[in-house]
Chains A and B, each alone.
Chain A
Amino acid sequence: MIDRFATTGFHPFVLPFLLGMWFVLGYCLFGMIRILWELPRKDRRRFLLSLVTPKTAWKNIKDIFLNCLIHVKLWKRNPVLGYMHSSIAFGWFMIILLGHVEVFLFLPERIRLFYYPIFFNFFVAEGESTIQGSVLMFLMDFFLLVILSGITLAIIKRFASLWFGMRRTTRPSFLDMVGMYSLWAIFPLRLLCESFTAHISGGSFLTIPMNRLFAWFFGNDLNYLPTWWAYSIVLGIFMFVLPFTRYMHIPSEMLLIPLRNAGLRVMHPRKGFARVQVFSCPGCGVCIDACPMSVKKENLKDCTVYLNRQLRRGNEKRIAEISDKCLLCGKCTEVCQVGVEGPEMRVAQRSLRKYSINPHYNNIQADPFIDALPAGTRVLYFAGCMTHLTPGIKKSVLSLLDKAGASYSVMDPDGGLCCGRPMMMAGRDEQAREMIRLNSEIIRGSRCNVLLLSCPICYRIFKEKYNLGNIRVVHHSVYFEELIRAGRLKVTRDEAVKLVYHDPCELGRGCGIYDEPRAAVSAVGTLVEAGKNRRESICCGGSLGSITLSYEKREGITRNSVANLMAESPDAIVTACPLCLSTFNKYADVPVKDLATVLDEKC
């Protein structure tokens, strides 16, 4: 390879690209510094430490490679979309990488120039063919072809998204359109540029035949400079609009992954970690179809993708509205390819609200509760508010404990303190903390070994926010399944009865418990599955998470969820959450029962 512009190594056509590149790099650098600055000091320390810890550093590299370039998660969900994304992302990455390899191999003194690897074929003339040269040229053409196939899919998807399995998608903004069209134009233009100059710089299976074709067609070299200009301008446009479009997710995700791997949580809805999440949202709209509120084409603009959009625009009224309405079921996070934590962002937003009344619970003492408990309790059962409103569950749990011969006592026989989760969901952290403190005192004071819960809403906060030392916190579905396996509970199985298990949001997506309840259901009947189940189970609609959703609107959500459960026409719906139970009971045509009740009937 010979440098064609040996003295300067510069041509003015590179300017649009160069300016765009500097702009986007500067923007991202500034943004990154700002985000790190906004992080609470403890979190920043934790993040910086994680970068130098070999284990997390390796995980960061692996995750960035697998998610940002290969899109493994998307491949698993939808192979066509997976191919579309990874062909563009990985192909582009390889072209940039191979461009650098070329410069490094043939013109190492030019490696300092930003634009050389991108516009290599403009600046060089092929002196002699070498084996390395042809392999590189071949790879360049190959990856360009891969990208072009991805772009073709992207264009088809734009006009027929249903072919790709997406029912609803977002409406791109004007700048999104500019970014999208310039992205589509980059690679066909690159193919044209390289083809026009292939007789000078050399090429491979794609560019050389095209060069011959063009030479035969045009008969001169006059086209190549305008095409290189166009290529550079399109690159420049894409980079200038990138920070203001959804394509900002490309650089943001590379920061999001290390921050998440460092174990950070959303503390403020606008600052730090939340800001990275907002900018990492690719605006694909997968969460629209997933959101349980979007049945009957309602509340379409209240899902996480629109929350992110409004957060970027700073539309305070809509941000508050969207944040209050959400059921916090967590399904959007489950289906999200970058893992934007919609519910956490909303709870953080709710915590910004100022209340005129801030209740305190200092007048409540833990001692009377502790004194009321018999000494030598091994299993402490906390029914919680919701189970008190569904006394059938409490009765079944106590009956099963008796049948298993467990030594137990009830922590709140006469009603007790709330676990704190409803307050936490409403963003009232301070009130929740007080309840956590009081309940912890009572539980520690009881000297029990096991804290048994029948409500997943309580279970989640006891698991996540309470520090109870050696006391095991267990949900009744897990506990009773263990007792059945250990032979302490003898249940009879009736194969003829078909039971469907509904995964409550808080127990499934919230705590990752999917298999134990299913095993327990299988012990008494034939387990059938709902249309959407496990990680993608549909919220019952009764969730405490939503502050503003009316009962009329919830009805549609519940009916849709029931219809999903009836996919295999079961004889009864089994759930493990008192709130799901009472919500389904209103609209289901088959009996709805708690897992404990089902087991108790067969025990």
Chain B
Amino acid sequence: MDYIAVVGGGIAGMEAAAQLKALGLEPVLIERSEALGGHVASWHCLFPDLTPADKLIKDLESRLEGVDIQLGAEVSTLNPLRKGYSVVLSNGKVYPCRAIVLATGFTLFPAQRKEEYGYGIYDHVITNRDLEGWFGGNGDSRVPESPKAVGFVHCVGSRDIKAGNAQCSKVCCITAIKQAIEMKERFPGAEIYCFYMDLRLFGKKYEDFYIRAQRDCGIHFIRGRVSEVAETIDGRVQVKAEDTLSGKPIKVRLDLLVLMAGIVCNPDSEQFSKAVSMPLDDDGFFRSRNNIGDITRSDRPGVFLAGACTGAKTVPETLAEARSAALNVYQYLKGQK
């Protein structure tokens, strides 16, 4: 039987596999970890409607009935055949595949690389993902019981050539606003600061969210990069930044600092690009055939791309691309007959 390999069990892979099944094809969903859902599964709720993330995952899972799901398995080799590829998995299974959908996603920027922000060094510095975990009910000793002041640093490892990533991660501005509002709702007495370069609030309802954060929640938005983070003797976090709108240096003491770690390319993408001899884009992500009209097809016939493996994406964009990639596969197979 001819399969369609879907590499990556995040939301892009799940949606693509579900769509392929619905189109009457035989997808095999390959996920390295022991559970589906990828990055979204570690999130508590999603902007701009504060939709619970696990609801989205459950919906996607319910549509995967009858799909061959390989959990805890990695692609060890990809061998080109006359038509398609032979996909060998780390668990020893071999699938002859007519087409491959790469939905390998992204990696969250390792925040300890920006050592000046003190992640892993100071007691009260966490990342956006850590905070989502805490929202989701996982205890975290770094989050104080009743913080008086909380700060969010935007663009940690995004738009930063020194950190090796010049691209915008697209979703952190709105995520920071979402998380800031959630923090304000949990701790109405706390002062919340957002340190940003500029705010990129491009999507539906994002601007409303931003206005709500300022007007209803009184969150302070400070335009300026954080230069230095230090720990005070009483264990609080002291942040130095320049408020570039007023042109003054500012210094704030906080009980919690949240770093908005950005989206960077998956280190595995190089291995895949070599296996199917498909060049990577200069940002390290996979390269689409065309960034406007053909974003889900690669330069190689039979290899399709979905979601954040081609660059930073929001959840709705990822899902739309996954559907599009499934349709591309269907048409490609039809054309081959």
Interface positions of A (Cβ within 8 A of B): 388-392, 395, 413-415, 551-552, 581-582, 585-586
Per-residue CB contact flags for chain B residues 140-160 toward chain A (1 = under 8 Å, else 0) read: 000000000000000000000
Which of A391, A415, A551, A585 contacts B231, CB < 8 Å?
A391
User: Interface code B210-243, partner A: CB below 8 Å = 1, 0 otherwise?
Assistant: 0000000000000000001111000000101000
For B118, the chain A residues whose CB sits under 8 A away are 391
Most chain A beta carbons < 10 A, residue from B162, B229, B231: B162
Which of B115, B162, B163 gathers most chain A CB within 10 Å?
B115
* A391 and B226 alpha carbons, distance in the complex (Å): 14
Given contacts A390-B115, A391-B115, A392-B121, contact A551 B161 (CB under 8 A): yes
Q: List 24 A-B contacts (CB under 8 A).
A: A388-B116, A388-B230, A389-B116, A389-B228, A390-B115, A390-B116, A391-B115, A391-B116, A391-B118, A391-B121, A391-B229, A392-B115, A392-B121, A395-B121, A413-B230, A414-B238, A415-B228, A415-B230, A551-B161, A552-B161, A582-B115, A586-B113, A586-B163, A586-B164
What is the CA–CA distance of A392 and B228 in the complex, to the nearest angstrom? 13
The answer to whether the Cβ of B122 comes within 8 Å of any Cβ in the partner chain is: yes
Q: Is the CB of A551 within 8 A of B162?
A: yes
B110 to chain A, nearest CB (A): 10
Contact check, B240 vs A585: say whether CB atoms are below 8 A apart.
no
- Whether A388 and B121, one on each chain, are in contact in the complex, defined by CB atoms closer than 8 angstroms, is no
Which applies to chain A's interface (DSSP): helix, strand, loop or mixed? helix
A76 to chain B, nearest CB (A): 40
Q: Do residues B228 and A388 form an inter-chain contact, with CB atoms below 8 A?
A: yes
Report the minimal beta-carbon distance from A461 to chain B, rounded to whole angstroms. 21
Contact residue among A391, A414, A415, A585 (Cβ-Cβ distance under 8 Å from B113): A585
Considering the chains assembled together, what is the distance between the CA atoms of A389 and B113 in angstroms? 11
Contact call B116/A415, Cβ cutoff below 8 A: no
Closest to A583 in B: B162
* Residues of chain A with a CB closer than 8 A to B240's CB: 415
Q: How far is the CA of A581 from the CA of B115 in the complex (A)?
A: 10
Chain A residues near B238 (CB-CB < 8 A) = 414
Query: Which residues of the other chain, A, contact B122 by a CB distance below 8 angstroms?
Result: 391
Interface residues on B, range: 10 to 19
User: Which residues of the partner chain B approach A415 to less than 8 Å between Cβ atoms?
Assistant: 228, 230, 240
In Å, the complex CA distance between A552 and B162 comes to 9
Give, as a whole number of angstroms, the nearest-CB distance from B252 to chain A.
13
Closest to B161 in A: A551
Binary A-proximity of B167-194 (CB < 8 A = 1, otherwise 0): 0000000000000000000000000000
8 more A-B residue pairs beyond the given contacts A388-B230, A391-B122, A585-B113, with a C-beta to C-beta distance below 8 A = A389-B115, A389-B116, A389-B228, A391-B118, A395-B121, A413-B230, A551-B162, A586-B163
A392 to B230, CA, bound (A): 10
**Which residues of B sit under 8 angstroms from A391, Cβ to Cβ?**
115-116, 118, 121-122, 229-231
Query: Measured between alpha carbons, how far is A582 from B162 in the docked complex, in Å?
Result: 10
Question: Which A-chain residue is minimally distant from B227 (CB atoms)?
Answer: A389
Q: Which residues of B contact A392 (CB under 8 A)?
A: 115, 121
Report the bound CA distance from A415 to B122 in whole Å. 17
Residue of A nearest to B228 (CB): A388
Q: How many angstroms between the C-alpha atoms of A389 and B163 in the bound complex?
A: 14
Minimum CB–CB distance for A500 against chain B, Å: 20
Closest residue of B by beta carbon distance from A386: B116
The docked-state distance in angstroms from the alpha carbon of A422 to that of B231 is 26
B230 neighbours in A (Cβ, 8 Å) = 388, 391, 413-415
Interface centre among A391, A551, A582 (most CB of B within 10 A): A391
Give the residue name and chain of the A residue nearest to B231 (CB).
Answer: A391
Contact, CB under 8 Å: A585 / B161 = no
Nearest B residue to A578, CB-CB: B115
| Top 9 closest pairs, chain A to chain B, by CB | A389-B116, A551-B161, A390-B115, A391-B118, A392-B121, A391-B121, A388-B228, A586-B164, A395-B121
A551 — which chain B residues lie within 8 A by C-beta? 161-162
Contacting residues, chain A, for B121 (C-beta < 8 A): 391-392, 395
Task: Write the chain B residue with the least CB distance to A394.
Answer: B230
What is the distance, in angstroms, from B111's C-beta to the closest C-beta of chain A?
13
A586 CB contacts on chain B under 8 angstroms: 113, 163-164
Closest residue on chain A to residue B120 by CB atoms: A392
- Contacts of A388 on B, CB cut-off 8 Å? 116, 228, 230
**CB-nearest residue of chain B to A396:** B121
Q: How far is the CA of A551 from the CA of B160 in the complex (A)?
A: 11
- Chain A residues with CB under 8 Å of B115's CB are 389-392, 581-582, 585
Whole-angstrom CA separation of A142 from B283 in the bound complex: 67
Q: How far does the alpha carbon of A551 sit from the alpha carbon of B164 in the complex, in Å?
A: 9
